Amino acid sequence: MSLRHWIVFAGLLVSTAASAAGIKIENAWARATAPGQKVGGAFLTLTADTDAALVGAASPVATEVELHSMAMDKGVMVMRRMERIDLPMGKAVTLEPGGLHIMLIGLKAPLKVGEPLPLVLTVRDAKGKTQQIKVSAEVREPGGMPMQHGHQH
């Protein structure tokens, strides 16, 4: 095999490894907040190419960002901080209101409809390798519906 063929082959191996460790992120959004409101929530869907876990998040708009679960326990809504959210290979994991979500604590300013919310997600694969993923979430009306563009007659 010539040197040129080895270089091409090595390039294919690197690109295969990068796609094998890939994380697909869809529908990233956050709820708009009222003036003075100090907490907010962010939501999205993650699909990993390999077994992995979401182990952290950060944003410059909040002093603290945590992973949370929300569930009903004997008729009472219970929210708990989580150290990780598992991302089984090939399975879409949705963070949504009333379930798993990203909690923004100590908001520095209200989240306004139409403004982007910068997030950095930390994902760890099954081998312990971590990666940081930058995400821009769309801030939506409190009901979570996307902004409507255009007009009706």
pLDDT surpassing 60 at residue 5: no
pLDDT of residue 32: 97
The pLDDT of residue 20 is above 50: no
pLDDT per residue as tens digits for the range 36-75: 999 999 999 999 999 999 999 999 999 999 999 988 888 8
Residue type, 78: V
d(C-alpha 27, C-alpha 13), whole Å: 30
Q: What is the pTM of this model?
A: 0.77
Q: pLDDT per residue over 83-112, tens digit each?
A: 999 999 999 999 999 999 999 999 999 999
State the chain's mean pLDDT as an integer. 83
- DSSP assigned state of 133: E
The more confident residue out of 1 and 103 is 103
Which tokens sit at 144? 């979570």
Q: Residue 2 pLDDT > 50, yes or no?
A: no
Domain boundaries along the sequence of the chain: 23-140
- 15 vs 46: CA distance, rounded Å: 21
Half-sphere exposure of 21 (CA within 13 A, CB side): 17
C-alpha span between 30 and 32 (Å, rounded) = 6
- Length reported for the chain: 153
CATH number of 23-140: 2.60.40.1890
**Confidence label for 151 from pLDDT (cuts 50, 70 and 90):** very low
Predicted pLDDT of residue 21:
47
Q: Identify the pLDDT of residue 144.
A: 53
Residue entry with tokens 């997030």: 119
Percent of the chain with pLDDT over 70: 79
